Amino acid sequence: MRESKLSGVLFLLLLMVVWELAAQRQWLNPLIVPPLSRIFASFGSLVAAGDIPLQILASLKRAAIGYVLAAAVFIPLGILMGLFDGCRRALDVIIEMLRPIPPPVVIPVALLFFGLEDEMKIFVIFFSCAWPILLNTLEGVRSIERLLLYTARTFGLSHARIIWQVVLPASSPQIMTGLRISLPITLILVVISEMVGSADGIGYFILDAQRRFKVAQMYAGMLALAIVGYGLNLLFNLAHRTFLAWHWGMLREQQR
Amino acid sequence: MPILEVENLSKSYRQLRGENTPAIGNVTCRVEAGEFVSFVGPSGCGKTTLLMSIAGLLEPSSGRVVVKGKEVKGPPPNLVLVFQEYNKSLFAWRTVLSNVRFGLEARGDRSPRAEAKARELLDRVGLKGFEKHYPWELSGGMQQRVAIARALAYEPEVLLMDEPFGSLDALTRLELEDTLLGVWAELRTTILFITHDIEEAIYLSDRIWVLSRRPAQIIQELSIDFPRPRDQLTTRAHAGFMTLRNEIYRQIGHAV
Amino acid sequence: MNRSSSFNWLGWLIFAGLLSMWEYGARANPKLQFYIPPVSEILVALFNLSASGQVAGHLLATVSRFVQGYAIAALLAVSLGVLLGYFRSAYGILEIVIEFLRPMPSVAIIPVAVLTLGIGDGMIVAVTVYASVWPILVNTIDGVKHIEPILIDTARTFGLRRWAILWRIVVPGAAPYIVTGLRISLSIALILVTTAEMIAGSRGLGFFILDQERSFNSSNMYAGIIIVAALGYGLNRLFLTLEGNVLRWRRGMIAQQPV
């Protein structure tokens, strides 16, 4: 295994060297594909000057608000719908009507309501995260092992306490899955909404760089975005390991 | 006064097409305090339904169950049911010790005494040192012991056990039979045990009720007079042991 | 979502109630109508757009780009995925590169595509292909890796050569995983097409919806959204039907339990 990791890294380095050479020697159009060195240089200076971090922060702020709002609304809703079948059936049709709408297509609506403000992006993210969070939460609650509930009842727990002490912890892995899926969705939609209608943010930054033919900057922005995506993933895993330590251990065991 | 009385208990399930499938026929029996009694019957005869109805987790179609003079209408506070599928009944998000304490917590007892009791019981079932483990880290036999310890920590007056050793290998089964008898002798809880293993029932019990095929009905009651404490070697070698076993085997065979 | 066999009266009732409230609320508050026109007006707009053929061109453009992008992505990703999954050494080399590219949201590739390919069908199809490849690729590799080695050894015992094994054992065996990847990419492809149309398009449903918003024509905008949603729904249904047929046939080929 280590052997292939090494060859993988070598291959990556090889690609990078080829890129650099090809761009320097003008085999590739440097206006479209600048040398890696220039991209890294641009990245470095933009980060140092604070330009990129500022844009990323703006994007992350909107992303965070939209994400947290979606969680705060749709996790409880999912739990309610999971516990009370009537509630689920009542909302089922509405949800099935809204689900097929590809999230970006909601952007013009958001533009109509909120213009280019932060609220526009927050709304779009809120809408996009809704279904993964809601449906996974719902599924998590509905698929709780019956024996767990029987066990709680045989020990005399009241219904309210069963929800708090059994339903919530038992469905938390699936709720986590919904939150995890929503993470890349959030990032994608914040970028898209910034490309369509914004005056700042990393999405806007990348598109703007392209429009002004500042190509190295454009790639630098993309690099920053990839790093942010990777970082968010790490953060989420950390949260998973912290809050659901018991589940994390189970997963590791199963993967062997 | 008998601690548990079952009077004309029957339970039917309504199928999708509206037909009624009876699971328990007319069952009547009495259990005295401190007894160890078993129901033996073929697989699928409705034993689990019977036990769950006695435990107040299922509502009977007719008849009633009386525990210590009070009619059962929901899980009685001094009665606990241990399920066969231990891995599905343990709370994956709680450590072993936390699982064992669950019943006590449900009663509102979070005192140091409760903690000590839980630890002591884990020791009794041979799991000392595993307090901080999670259920998925334990083997099947160990998990079932946690489930038993959890039930015993609750100090129920009546303990119902649904084929608790059914999913375990033969050797573990024998070991746990003796562990159970040991704890029972100490605590003098009343135990209602379900099994399809005839020899296990004879080995453990004071009395046995033989059940017919579905819908379950008591076709015979037998008294087991072997001396206590029982022993895997001497008790089973008793001449009368095999006679009893054959008798019960024949009974079940006839009832097909 | 689980579907009970009985008709969901309650759900439809609530839905109808919501629509009625919308209709009434919009009609009672003229100021609101700019943002949320009454349902009836939206339906009228929908009818007009469909009847006049005004939106047909956009719909066709979107569908055409979607089909091209999705088909190319599927072909590329399944082939590559099968090869990478089967030949571990090849995957080992490329794994790091794949892991590097994955965290970047695929929409960020749109500016690059515009730079390279300008604006137009080519660009849109290209970004759709790029984005749709990932889920299919990852799931295909996963599926191939999960194939019981015993099956492959058995095939080898019978003298099957490498390519035959790939085609007759590996692909059917990994089919459930591949189908999962294909299903995920279905939505992703539609998302990318509409997004690219919004950012840098002159035709297509994505462009149309945004354009109507810019012209302050909210009824048409909402009508366009309904059309896109219907398209997404239709594609999903089509996929489920095809999936049912293909998987049933494939499952008959090998005596392997579906995952």
Question: Quick check: is A37 in a domain?
Answer: no
Q: Please, which residues have CB within 8 angstroms of residue C153's CB and are 6 or more apart in sequence?
A: none
Q: Let me know the angle formed at the C-alpha of B187 by B185 and B192, rounded to the nearest 5 degrees.
A: 75
Do A222 and C190 count as a contact with CB atoms less than 8 A apart?
A: no
Residue in chain B closest to A246 (alpha carbons) equals: B93
Q: What is the pLDDT of residues A173-183, one digit of tens each?
A: 999 999 999 99
Do A154 and B137 count as a contact with CB atoms less than 8 A apart?
A: no
Residue in chain C closest to A233 (alpha carbons) equals: C103
Question: Quick check: is C258 in a domain?
Answer: no
- Please tell me the predicted confidence (pLDDT) of residue C239: 92
- pLDDT value at C258 more than 70: no
Q: Cα-flanking dihedrals φ and ψ of residue B54, to 5°? A: -65, -35
% of chain B at pLDDT higher than 70: 98
- Please tell me the predicted confidence (pLDDT) of residue B141: 85
Question: Which option is the CATH number for B4-78+157-254: 3.40.50.1000, 3.30.420.130, 3.30.70.3270, 3.40.50.300?
Answer: 3.40.50.300
Residues C53 and C103 reside in one and the same domain: yes
pLDDT mean over A212-232: 92
- pLDDT value at A67 more than 90: yes
Q: What is the mean pLDDT of chain C?
A: 87
Number of domains observed in the structure of chain A: 1
Residue among C180, C190, C186 nearest C247 (CA): C180
- Please tell me the predicted confidence (pLDDT) of residue A4: 65
- What one-character DSSP code corresponds to residue B214? S
- pLDDT value at C208 more than 90: yes
| Interface contact A147, partner C, CB < 8 A | no
Task: Give chain B's radius of gyration (CA, Å).
Answer: 18
Do C115 and A11 count as a contact with CB atoms less than 8 A apart?
A: no
Considering only CB atoms, which chain C residues are within 8 Å of A16? none
Distances (CA, A) of B18 to B12, B13, B15, C4, C108: 11, 9, 5, 17, 57
C-alpha–C-alpha distance, residues B135 and B137, integer Å = 5
Model ipTM value: 0.88
Considering only CB atoms, which chain A residues are within 8 Å of C31? none
Cβ atoms C210, C196 nearer than 8 A = no
Tell which wins on pLDDT, A46 or B16.
Answer: A46
Which regions of chain B carry the CATH code 3.40.50.300? 4-78+157-254
Residue in chain B closest to A157 (alpha carbons) equals: B106
Residues C95 and C223 reside in one and the same domain: yes
> Quick one: pLDDT band at residue A84, thresholds 50, 70, 90?
very high
Mean pLDDT is highest, among A77-86, B215-224, C30-39, for A77-86
Dig out the tokens for B171 from the structure: 């050797």
pLDDT mean over A226-254: 89
- Please tell me the predicted confidence (pLDDT) of residue C252: 52
Do A90 and C218 count as a contact with CB atoms less than 8 A apart?
A: no
Do C107 and A192 count as a contact with CB atoms less than 8 A apart?
A: yes
Q: What is the pLDDT of residues B169-180, one digit of tens each?
A: 888 889 889 989
Residues C14 and C62 reside in one and the same domain: no
Do A250 and B134 count as a contact with CB atoms less than 8 A apart?
A: yes
- pLDDT value at C256 more than 50: no
pTM: 0.86
* Strand partners for B24: B11, B216
Number of domains observed in the structure of chain C: 2
Residues C32 and C67 reside in one and the same domain: no
Question: Quick check: is C229 in a domain?
Answer: yes
- Sign of the CA dihedral running A144, A150, A152, A158: positive
> Quick one: pLDDT band at residue B135, thresholds 50, 70, 90?
very high
Residues C44 and C163 reside in one and the same domain: yes
CATH number for position A54: 1.10.3720.10
- Please tell me the predicted confidence (pLDDT) of residue C99: 83
- Please tell me the predicted confidence (pLDDT) of residue C88: 81
- Out of A79-93, B13-27, B236-250, C215-229, pick the least confident: B13-27
User: Best of A154, A172, A176, A251 to disrupt the B interface by mutation (most B CBs within 10 Å)?
Assistant: A154
Question: Quick check: is A34 in a domain?
Answer: no
Cβ atoms C227, C205 nearer than 8 A = yes
Q: What is the mean pLDDT of chain B?
A: 89
Do C12 and A93 count as a contact with CB atoms less than 8 A apart?
A: yes
| Nearest CB to A156; choose among B77, B93, B94 | B77
| Interface contact A187, partner C, CB < 8 A | yes
Residues C12 and C127 reside in one and the same domain: no
Cβ atoms C58, C207 nearer than 8 A = yes
- Please tell me the predicted confidence (pLDDT) of residue C2: 46
Do B93 and A246 count as a contact with CB atoms less than 8 A apart?
A: yes
Residue in chain A closest to B82 (alpha carbons) equals: A151
Q: Subunits touching A (CB < 8 Å, at least 3 pairs)?
A: B, C
C-alpha–C-alpha distance, residues C130 and C110, integer Å = 10
Q: Which domain holds residue C79?
A: 38-253
Considering only CB atoms, which chain C residues are within 8 Å of A221? 108
Q: Subunits touching B (CB < 8 Å, at least 3 pairs)?
A: A
Residues C22 and C149 reside in one and the same domain: no
Burial of C83 (0-12, 13-18, 19+ CB in 10 A): middle
Helix (H, G, I), strand (E, B) or coil at B12: strand
Q: Which domain holds residue A246?
A: 48-255
pLDDT mean over C120-127: 92
Considering only CB atoms, which chain A residues are within 8 Å of B56? 154
Q: Subunits touching C (CB < 8 Å, at least 3 pairs)?
A: A
Question: Quick check: is A31 in a domain?
Answer: no
% of chain C at pLDDT higher than 70: 93
Question: How is chain A split among helix, strand and coil, in percent rounded to 5?
Answer: 85, 0, 15
